[in-house]
């Protein structure tokens, strides 16, 4: 990590004092390498993995040049998924806390169009959105990019993977030619090189190596012949290690669904995450996994990109990743914050080329590890420690986390320790409670009142 303090940069004093209050003192490597370039007004290609601090890198750069008194859209940030756009929007708002009257608007698919038009009519300084929805607004004339002087492409490789090339081209066509363009990407395939040539002017390239801590992550490789072998190996390892939370990466949406269905049928607490899910199902899957109401998430790389998942016990590569950097990206989700992590990968003879490339990239020999004994099939799969309850009411109904905690702990029904994550949106709230308390918690919330009124309550299951 870099030891350079943020105070060494020519940032506005209100940004620096806010960074201090957030305990953002020293810059990460990607911030130290890219922020001086961004502050200098140059275009940039920055390559770094999720969790490297890239949002703060481009966020501080665009906030430093923003003219708050000029109530026009000055920055457009494109992200591949709604989840990442929401995360980026939240982080920009956190970084901008010291600046008065700044407006950051998030425009994503899967959300009603009407309210977004209303918000746009009221104006904004910064737009964060997904390419499809931004393109929709441009085609309907509800969004104007004439005043944009900074364009950010975040997770550019995933946007191209998801088929957004044409949408991105269309959006860029409608943005001013005189602008600063910041391109952030975890990997750098040929497609990215091509788009960079077309849309960036004399860019500075910054690369932070996608390395991982060999001491923190133990990697194991298992040779398999077919899908049945992979499923068998996956079951053995899940039963042997009983991870509290694990992600199983597959290369296709179809395989994600097949693997998830088989795990659920065999009693595992698993949920699927892929691009074909309805937005509500996707949101609930993410919430259940992040609040420990599901132990295993089976996902594609695109679906899992940008997810903020802490304390991941293990990562499984059901298929070897197409790209070595993607492999490192996947396994880098475990073994964080000084904890030990486990990474298990399945490969077949067809993967010989990928294994050789991975050996070169990891600078280690990959040999076949032995699977656990068949006796572990007698073990019972770990059940999630929490269960999620959904309340059909949220911020618009003036609900706060304190109201929900108060209702659950009234008359000593539940203790604070038995309540997990509480997540509120405009019209709903999700609460995780310990598995053994679910009946008591459900009765408390469905029979009692919140803010003086009753709300519909349901238990969210797979």
Mean pLDDT over 442-461 rounds to 91
pLDDT at 165 over 90: no
Mean pLDDT over 304-328 rounds to 79
Alpha-carbon dihedral angle through residues 147, 152, 157, 162, given to the nearest 10 degrees: -50
pLDDT given for residue 89 in this prediction: 95
Mean pLDDT over 259-275 rounds to 94
pLDDT given for residue 337 in this prediction: 57
Q: Which residue has the tokens 């519909």?
A: 456
Report residue 3's pLDDT band, with 50, 70 and 90 as the boundaries: low
Pick the more confident residue, 290 or 66: 66
pLDDT given for residue 80 in this prediction: 85
Domains and CATH numbers, the chain: 6-207 (3.40.50.300), 217-378 (3.40.50.300), 386-460 (3.30.70.330)
pLDDT digits (tens, 9 = 90+) for 202-246: 999 998 865 555 567 889 999 999 999 999 999 999 999 999 899
pLDDT given for residue 378 in this prediction: 93
pLDDT digits (tens, 9 = 90+) for 381-416: 988 999 999 999 998 998 888 889 889 988 888 888
- Buried b / exposed e over 177-207, threshold 16 CB at 10 Å, is eebbbbbbbbbbeeebeebbeebbeebbebe
- The full DSSP string for 83-139 is HHHHHHHHHHHHHTTTSTT--EEEE-TTS-HHHHHHHHHT--SEEEE-HHHHHHHHH
- Cα distances from 175 to residues 40, 64, 74, in angstroms, run 21, 21, 11
């Amino acid at each position: 990590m870099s030891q350079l303090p943020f105070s060494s940069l020519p940032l506005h004093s209100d940004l620096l004092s806010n960074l201090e209050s957030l305990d953002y003192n020293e810059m990460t490597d990607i911030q130290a390498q890219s922020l001086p370039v961004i502050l200098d007004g140059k275009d940039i290609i920055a390559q770094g993995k999720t969790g490297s601090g890239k949002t703060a890198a481009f966020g501080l750069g665009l906030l430093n040049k923003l003219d708050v008194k000029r109530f026009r859209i000055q920055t457009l940030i494109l992200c591949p998924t709604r989840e990442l756009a929401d995360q980026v929007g939240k982080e920009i708002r956190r970084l901008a806390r010291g600046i008065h009257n700044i407006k950051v608007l998030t425009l994503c698919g899967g959300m009603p169009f009407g309210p977004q038009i209303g918000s746009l009519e009221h104006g904004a300084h910064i737009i964060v959105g997904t390419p499809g929805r931004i393109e929709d607004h441009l085609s309907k004339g509800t969004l104007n990019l004439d005043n944009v002087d900074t364009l950010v492409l975040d997770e550019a490789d995933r946007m191209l993977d998801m088929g957004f090339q044409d949408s991105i081209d269309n959006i860029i066509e409608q943005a001013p030619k005189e602008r600063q363009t910041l391109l952030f990407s975890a990997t750098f395939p040929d497609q990215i090189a091509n788009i960079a040539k077309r849309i960036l002017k004399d860019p500075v390239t910054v690369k932070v190596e996608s390395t991982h801590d060999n001491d923190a992550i133990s990697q194991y490789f298992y040779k398999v012949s077919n899908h049945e072998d992979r499923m068998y190996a996956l079951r053995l390892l899940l039963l042997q290690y009983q991870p509290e939370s694990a992600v199983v990466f597959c290369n296709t949406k179809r395989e994600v669904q097949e693997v998830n269905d088989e795990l659920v049928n065999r009693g595992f607490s698993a949920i699927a995450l892929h691009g074909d899910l309805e937005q509500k199902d996707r949101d609930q899957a993410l919430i259940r996994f992040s609040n420990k109401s599901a132990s295993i998430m089976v996902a594609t790389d695109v679906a899992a990109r940008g997810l903020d998942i802490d304390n991941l016990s293990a990562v499984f590569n059901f298929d070897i990743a197409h790209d070595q950097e993607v492999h490192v990206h996947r396994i880098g989700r475990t073994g964080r914050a000084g904890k030990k992590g486990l990474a298990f990968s399945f490969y077949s003879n067809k993967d010989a080329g990928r294994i050789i490339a991975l050996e070169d990239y990891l600078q280690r020999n990959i040999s076949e590890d032995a699977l656990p004994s068949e006796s572990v099939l007698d073990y019972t799969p770990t059940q999630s420690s929490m269960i999620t309850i959904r309340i059909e009411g949220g911020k618009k109904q003036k609900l706060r986390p304190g109201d929900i905690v108060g209702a659950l702990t009234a008359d000593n029904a539940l203790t604070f320790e038995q309540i997990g994550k509480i997540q509120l949106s405009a019209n709903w709230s999700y609460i995780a409670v310990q598995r053994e308390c679910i009946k008591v918690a459900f009765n408390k919330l469905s029979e009692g009142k919140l803010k003086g009124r009753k709300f519909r309550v349901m238990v969210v299951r797979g």
